[in-house]
Amino acid sequence: MKFETPAGANPIDQLKVIGRPTDRIEGPLKTTGTATYAYEYNDAVANPAYGYVVGAAIAKGRIKSIDQSKAKAAPGVLAIVTAATAGPLKTGQFYVDKLLAGPDIDHYHQAVAVVVAETFEQARAAASLLKISYTKTKGAFDLAAAKDSAPLIKPGPFSPPPTTNVGNFEGAFASAPVKLDETYTTPDQTHAMMEPHATIAKWDGDKLTCWASIQQINWGVRDIATVLGIPKENIRLISAFIGGGFGGKGTVLSDIIAAALAARAAGRPVKVTLPRPLIANNTTHRPATIQRIRIGATPDGTITAIGHESWSGNLPGGISETATASTRLLYAGANRFTQLRMAVLDLAEGSAMRAPGEATGMMAMEIAMDEMAEKLNMDPVTFRIKNDTQEDPEKPGRKFSSRKLVECLQTGAEQFGWNKRQAKPGSVREGQWLIGMGVASAIRGAPVMKSAARVRLSREGIVTVETDMTDIGTGSYTIIGQTAAEMMGVTLDNVVVKLGDSTFPESPGSGGQWGAASATSGVYAACVKLREAVANSLGISIEGAEFIDGQVRAGNRSYPLGDAAKAAELVVQDEMTYGTLSKEYAQDTFGAHFVEVGVNSYTGVIRIRRMLAVCHAGRILNPKAARSQVIGAMTMGVGAALMEELVVDKQVGFFVNHDLAGYEVPVHADIPHQEVILLDDVDPTMSPMKAKGIGELGLVGVAAAVANAVYNATGIRVREYPITLDKLIDKLSING
């Protein structure tokens, strides 16, 4: 099925199952510990061995030698794999990192060997016996030091243009009566997902099966084939449940390649998991940025010039952090300029982390908007509303498919009690605590991508859906089940959902906020075909046929749905593809975040008091799941604002705090109260589902709302994330 014109009325609009706050259908499996994650397929493999990945002990240089003698003689050791013995290995088509390095070392903890033994403990002990000699060379680890020589990024499939210009930015900014020119920095961050990267690999002749924690099955199969140089049809990849990804498990990383190579060398299935301290420096992370923002406006608050430049770093050939993405679409302004530069750094690869680009860019832009509002003596909400636009500011005439940013801001302000905010910073005190409120807008793209599904109907009336879509904790099983139930006129108990297997039809997987809208649209397409097959089997016309309460009704006749499969199970498959509506319309999601904080006037400690998110993301497929996604994202935003920072040792060249003891993330006590308002709507330009993603929108802008609240509480403007107490304490006045 091809979606080329805006959707009209269709069976999804019945909203008997879709749109309901439905519990997760896989919830009982997860809460009872019976959901099977990558490392736990014990029934699928007999007598597995264990692999332990050894990371490089230097950040840049070469391996001189590896003495394996003691390790090979250690108890239980079955094999040791290095780049010298692994055979030719290439890099995948998304990540640029070499997943088993040698002799050249590109970054600290890059995988240099896999030790395989009968038990995990034996493999780990033997790995410590490897004697690896290195020759160190000078590396680059400091973004600020590399900033001035950083070239413009190179255009690519995952990169925007390096520079955008509309109008005459420099001239308009120079002549603007009110100006802002500030620099903001965001640090390197790690995904900190609950489940570490893990894989079980098994060879049957030249056929490879991997049970892995990976977000995009299709990319995974492609990249395993590319790295190992084997045909795609010889690979099966299974990822039924994933304990968090946030972009950090997009495609193939070192655990998968290590397990595959180790299993081939040992002649047995092999389990590999990356220990937590290895993840930060071995896998991908969100790269740090330095951002310069310039805004020019007239005294009445009309933006006349808006410019955003960003610098980030990465391995050679890697992608940049696209921090200017939101600026290009969020606010009006006739004269506009953005630019992205990327320095080559010898740190672990920078890549996607929840809302890549928008999250970091809005951490800066939404502080800048508050600073500009203060210069104009305007309320920050009013300033944002004044500069709303209903068309793409880079392409006048190209309208947004739907855009309720103003309603998000107005609704949030009313619900949050924004009228009680004191414009003068430091005006509200409760004992030792200074109280402040902050706001930020939110915008995140709403892409939809080709997605396929297979749907089966049994004589018992059970509908089974198969697609290689993954569930990273987002509720994919449930919304896909809801889609099939709505389309086929059955209850959710009569739907079986099977996900995360490369033998199923191809979806785009989980990532980029495209998963929900895309995967459900593929299921919609398959169900349309199944409805036709049912009508043909029953000898009725599909025109006017109704699928209701497990029955198929045509005229004055009614049939149990399962009767269509009495002779044989009905099996159909289809995919949803797209025309040019995404070019005709700017398709995005919008929101507003409101935060209240308390800052201790003696210690500088910051406490979140309450949070509100108002989100506009098309039809909400499952309000309960959507709310869960948003509050999780809000929590992550608090981490970005106040805690999260991979600290770079700029001499040795590695992230120092590479575990959850040193890398701080919010806990329950940090998040006392969260509220979410979903502005339910439909966007017929997206797909027949009329829905958009929401999982990344909930993060965008949160950190800036926190930062703006801290400023409102204290009068101290911090432009360097995270906002830790040491950046406040010597500026606080304990006497008010």
Query: How does pLDDT run across 596-639, given as a tens digit for each residue?
Result: 999 999 999 999 999 999 999 999 999 999 999 999 999 999 99
Determine the pLDDT at residue 155.
85
Choose one of 517, 543, 574: the last residue of a domain: 574
Query: Could you give the residue ranges of the DSSP H alpha helices within 7-60?
Result: 27-31
Rounded to an integer, the average pLDDT of 217-236 is 98
Q: Is the pLDDT of residue 735 over 90?
A: no
Q: Which of the following is catalytic: 374, 645, 696, 720?
A: 696
In sequence order, what are the beta bridge partners of 553? 546, 558
Q: Domain check: are 397 and 465 in the same one?
A: no
Q: Domain check: are 211 and 232 in the same one?
A: yes
> Residue 148 CA to chain centroid, in angstroms?
30
Q: Domain check: are 107 and 239 in the same one?
A: yes
- DSSP codes joined into one string, 565-579: GSSS-EEEEEEEEE-
Determine the pLDDT at residue 734.
59
Q: Domain check: are 126 and 255 in the same one?
A: yes
Q: To the nearest whole percent, how much of the chain has pLDDT over 90?
A: 98
Place of tokens 């655990």: 255
Rounded to an integer, the average pLDDT of 109-122 is 98
CA distance linking residue 515 with residue 696, whole number of Å: 11
Rounded to an integer, the average pLDDT of 62-78 is 98
Q: Domain check: are 157 and 242 in the same one?
A: no
Number of independent structural domains in the chain: 3
- Domain presence at residue 6: no
Choose one of 230, 246, 272: the last residue of a domain: 272
Q: Domain check: are 256 and 312 in the same one?
A: no
Residue 45 DSSP code: S
CB 39 within 8 A of CB 194: no
Query: Could you give the residue ranges of the DSSP H alpha helices within 376-493?
Result: 380-386, 405-416, 476-488
Assigned token pair, 85:
């013995």
CA distance linking residue 85 with residue 258, whole number of Å: 12
For strands 654-655 and 674-678, give the pairing. Answer: unpaired
Domain containing 103 equals 44-138+207-272
Determine the pLDDT at residue 730.
94
Q: Domain check: are 264 and 130 in the same one?
A: yes
Handedness of CA 322, 328, 331, 334 (dihedral sign): positive
What crossing angle do the helices spanning 702-714 and 623-642 adopt, rounded to 10°?
50
Q: Domain check: are 304 and 421 in the same one?
A: yes
Determine the pLDDT at residue 83.
97
Task: Kindly give, in sequence order, each residue whose CB lies less than 8 Å from that of residue 244, ignoring residues fewer than 6 positions away.
Answer: 191, 193, 194, 195, 472, 473
N-to-C CA span, the chain: 65
Determine the pLDDT at residue 159.
84
Q: Domain check: are 539 and 629 in the same one?
A: no
CA distance linking residue 48 with residue 46, whole number of Å: 6
To the nearest whole number, what is the mean pLDDT of the chain? 97
Determine the pLDDT at residue 445.
96
Q: To the nearest whole percent, how much of the chain has pLDDT over 70?
A: 100
Other CB atoms within 10 A of residue 563 CB: 15
- Domain presence at residue 115: yes
Residue 656 DSSP code: S
Whether pTM exceeds 0.95: yes
The string of pLDDT tens digits covering residues 441-459 is 999 999 999 999 999 999 9
Assigned token pair, 194:
């609950």
CB 270 within 8 A of CB 48: yes
Q: Domain check: are 124 and 260 in the same one?
A: yes
Rounded to an integer, the average pLDDT of 368-381 is 98
CATH code, domain carrying 622: 3.30.365.10
- Domain presence at residue 381: yes
CATH code, domain carrying 76: 3.90.1170.50
- Domain presence at residue 277: no
For strands 178-186 and 289-297, give the pairing. Answer: antiparallel
Q: Is 696 designated active site?
A: yes
In sequence order, what are the beta bridge partners of 295? 180, 306
- Domain presence at residue 696: yes
Assigned token pair, 596:
């209240």
Query: For the ranges 153-157, 160-164, 303-307, 322-326, which has the lowest average pLDDT?
Result: 153-157
Determine the pLDDT at residue 274.
98
CA distance linking residue 522 with residue 525, whole number of Å: 5
- Domain presence at residue 281: no
Would you place residue 279 in the very low, low, confident or very high pLDDT band (cuts 50, 70, 90)? very high
In the chain, the amino acid numbered 369 is: M
Q: Domain check: are 570 and 590 in the same one?
A: no
Q: Is the pLDDT of residue 736 over 70?
A: no
CA distance linking residue 393 with residue 166, whole number of Å: 9
Q: Domain check: are 179 and 322 in the same one?
A: yes
CB 335 within 8 A of CB 168: yes
Place of tokens 């590479």: 658
Nearest one of 408, 505, 423, 415 to 456, comparing CA atoms: 505
Determine the pLDDT at residue 733.
76
CA distance linking residue 701 with residue 679, whole number of Å: 18
The string of pLDDT tens digits covering residues 22-34 is 999 999 999 999 9
In 514-642, at which residue ranges do the beta strands (DSSP E only) sit? 546-548, 551-554, 557-560, 570-578, 588-600, 606-616
CB 652 within 8 A of CB 716: no
Rounded to an integer, the average pLDDT of 654-674 is 96
The string of pLDDT tens digits covering residues 703-713 is 999 999 999 99
What is the H or E stretch that residue 309 is in? strand 303-314
CB 52 within 8 A of CB 123: yes
Phi/psi for 597 (5° steps) reads -125, 160
- Domain presence at residue 33: no
CA distance linking residue 502 with residue 718, whole number of Å: 47
Give the three-class secondary structure for 201.
strand
- Domain presence at residue 736: no
What is the H or E stretch that residue 175 is in? helix 169-175
Rounded to an integer, the average pLDDT of 239-247 is 97
The string of pLDDT tens digits covering residues 471-519 is 999 999 999 999 999 999 999 999 999 999 999 999 999 999 999 999 9
Rounded to an integer, the average pLDDT of 137-145 is 98
Phi/psi for 442 (5° steps) reads -140, 140
Residues, the chain: 736
Phi/psi for 586 (5° steps) reads -80, 115
Q: Is the pLDDT of residue 583 over 90?
A: yes
Task: Kindly give, in sequence order, each residue whose CB lies less than 8 Å from that of residue 44, ignoring residues fewer than 6 positions away.
Answer: 200, 202, 211
Q: Is the pLDDT of residue 245 over 70?
A: yes
Phi/psi for 134 (5° steps) reads -125, 155
Cα–Cα distances (Å) from 256 to 38, 46, 252, 436, 478, in that order, read 11, 19, 6, 47, 28
Would you place residue 577 in the very low, low, confident or very high pLDDT band (cuts 50, 70, 90)? very high
Place of tokens 């793409």: 392
